[in-house]
Structure 1
Amino acid sequence: MELLHDPELDRFRQEIRAFIAEVLPPEMKARQRTKIMNNATIADQQEWMRILNRHGRAVAHWPVEHGGCGWTPQQLFIFNEELYAADAPEFDWGGTHMLGPVLYTFGSPAQREHFMPMIRNGETYWAQGFSEPGSGSDLASLRTSAELQGDKYIVNGQKIWTSGAAHARWGFFLVRTDKNVKPQRGISFLIINMDSPGVTVRQIPQINGEAHLCEVFLDNVEVPADQLVGEPGMGWTYAKFLLEHERTTSSFIYWSKRELDRAKEIARGETVGGRRVCDDPAFRARFARVQADLLALEWSVLRVLAHEETGFPEAAAASVLKIRGSELQQEITMLQVDALGAKSLRYYEPTPDAPTPSADWPDYAPGRTTIALIARAATIYGGSKQVQKNILAKLAYGL
C-alpha cells in the first residue's frame, strides 16, 4: 500500500466537514462534548440518525441499493473520522453495523422491507443478545433455546452484558434451535420484540455510575417464526459474518483520535506548579509515545481497508486491531485523567447535561474519569484480549 496525498480526498473531507457543520444541531454537539455518560443519549442518537437519513447518509457504508453512498473505504474512513472529530452522536452500531449487513445479505425480502427502514431512520435502539452467563467468549456453548411450535418459536434462556437493552424495542439474538447436532450447527439468528411477554430486562450498575449493560431473561417468549433470519442452524455463520463484516471498527480509531486531541487540550489548559502540564517533559514523552502508537494503529486500519496483501488472514488483522485499539483506549483516557490531576476526583452524576463550565471547571473536565473507568473493560468486551491473542496465534501462526 502506498500512502500518497490525494487532493480528491482532501476535497471530500472539506465537503463532509462543511456538511456536518451545517446539519449537526449546536445543542446536540454541546451535549456530546460535555456528556458525562459513556454513550450519547438514545434521543440524540435517534435524532441524529433521522438527520443523516434525510440527507441519505445514515448508512453510508451499506450497498447503494440499500441506502448506502457508494463511497470508497478511504472516503468512509474520512466520513467517520469527521463525525467523531465534530462530536456528533455515535451510531446505533447494533442496527447500522451489525444487524443491517446481516439483513441485507441473509434476510428475507419481508424482513429487509420491515426492519431496514427502521434502522436507517433511527426508529429504535437495537439490543445484541449474544453473551450468556458462562458463554461469553465461547458463544458455541450458549444455552438459550428456541423451540418451533407451529408458526412461532418459544424462547427460554438468559443473556448478559446486553448493551442498551433497557431502551431497546427490538433485539437480535443467538438461540439454540437444535440440540442434536454439533454446537455451532444448532444455533439460529432470531429477531425478538423486547416488549414481548416473558422478556425481562435488568440493568447492571457499572463502576462509572451508568447502567447501560443489562441482563435479559426470556421466559416462554413467543416469537413469530418469520423473524428467524436466514436458515435454521446458520446463526453461527451469520454471527461470524456480523463480527467480521466491519473488521476495523474494533480498533476504535476514530474515537481514540478525538480523545487524544482532548488529552492535548486538557494538558494545555491545566497547570502544575505554575507550569502547563503539556510543558512537563515526562508528560510530553508519554504523550508522544501514545501518539506514535495511535498513528501506527491508524496506518494498520488503512492497510486493512486497502486489502493489502500481508500473508495473514484478515481475521488475524482484526484481532490485532482489537488488541491495540482497546489498549490505546485505556492509555488515552488515563492520559486525560492524569492531566486533570485532582480535578479528576470530582464525581459527576451520569446525566445527559453537564454542569455549566467555569474557570475552575472547564467543559473538558466532566466525564473524563467516568469514561476512563469504563474503558478498563475495553480489553474484555467484544472478545477479551486473551481470546484475541489465542485467535491470532491460531490464524497467523498455526499454534
Structure 2
Amino acid sequence: MEPVAFTHNLWLVAASLCVALMAGFTGLSLTKGLSAQSAAHRKVVITFAAVALGGGIWSMHFVAMLGLQLPFVFYYDAAITLASALVAILVVGLALLMLHFGRRTRQKLVLAGAVVGVGIIAMHYIGMSALEMCRAVYTPLGMTLSILSSVVLSVVAFGIAYGKRKHRNILLGTAVFGGAVFAVHFIAVAGTRFEPLVATTQVGPLIGNEALAIGVVLSSFALCGAFLLSTTTFLPADPVAEAKPAPQPAPDAAMPAAQPEPDRTPDPVPGTGKVPYEHDGRTHFVDAGSVAAIRAEGHYTYIYTRTGHFFCAWSIAEAAKRLAGANFIQTHRSYLVNPAMVSGFERLKDTGVCYFGLPDLTKVPVSRSRLKDVREVLGV
C-alpha cells in the first residue's frame, strides 16, 4: 500500500515537551549530592530517579505518538507499550548506577550518556512496533540520524548535568536532555512512513488518543512532583535561619531563675578540629586549619583546600557551630572563611571580597552586615 501523509496535534506536541523537561529536571535533581549518602540510600533514590526519568522519556514518546494524526483509526498493543516503558526505566537505572557507584570519570560519563541514548532509541522503536491497524516503515537514513542524535545529545546532557553538580548545570542539563528526547522522537518519526493495514477486527481503543494523552501527562507530572517534594529540595536553605536558636520560655516570676550549670566542655583548640568530606564513596577527614573556606550548597556544604574542593555533609550552620573555636569567620550567609588563608582583601563600597590563591577558590564575597567583623579580624 502507498504511505499516507500525517500531521500532529500541536497541543499534544507541546505537552510532550513539557513532560520531557519535567522528567529530566526531576531525575537530575533527585540525584544531586547522592554520592555522599549510604549505598542503601543511593539505591532507593536511584530507583525513584530511574522511574521519573525513564518513565518521563516513555511518557514524552507516548504522548507525542498519541498526537500523531493519520487518516485512519490506529491504536497500540498494551503489552508492547508497557515493555517499551520498562526498557526506558531499566536503561536509565543502569546509567545512574554507573554514575553513583565508584569513581565518576569522564569516560564513565560518556558511557552512561551513550547507554541512555541507546535506551531512548530502543524504547522508541519498541513502542512503534506496538502500532495496531498500521505499519511503520523505517528508512536507513532516518534510523541512522535518530540513533546518532540520541547518543550524542544524551552524552552532552549528562556531561553538563554531572560535570559540576550545581543548580545551574542541572537546569542546563535538563534543557538539553528534554530537548534531546523531544528531538530524537521527531527525527525518528520524520524518517518513518506509515501504511494502513487491512482491519481484521472491529475492536478499537476504549478511549480517544487525546483523553489518554491527558491522563499520561497528568500522571507524569503528579509522579515527578511527588518524588521532588518527598526526596529533594532544589532551593538552598537559609543557613542564618537554621542557625537561630529556638526561643526559650520566660522563667516563672514567682520563682528565682535557676542558675545555669557551668559548661564543662573544654574550648576547642583552633586548627585541631577535623572536617569530614566525601570522596570516592568514602568519608575522609581534614584538619580544620587546612580548610580555606566552606560554601553552603543547599542543606550541605563544600570545603575548599589547597588540593581541591570536596563535598561535606554538614550544613553551613552545623559547620559554624562545630568550628566555632577554630578561628573561622562567616563572611556571607553562604560562606565560612579561614582568615589565615586569605591572601588579599578588597572593599567594594559597603561590601567586600576576600581573595585566595587556590586553584578552585579565587575569591569569596563579604556581605555588608559582615564587613566590619571581617575587617577587624583581618586587621584592615
TM over 0.5: no
More relative contact order, 1 or 2 (CA 8 Å, 6+ apart): 1
Normalised-by-shorter TM-score class: under 0.3
TM-score by length of 1: 0.26
Greater Rg over alpha carbons, structure: 2
TM-score when normalising by structure 2: 0.26
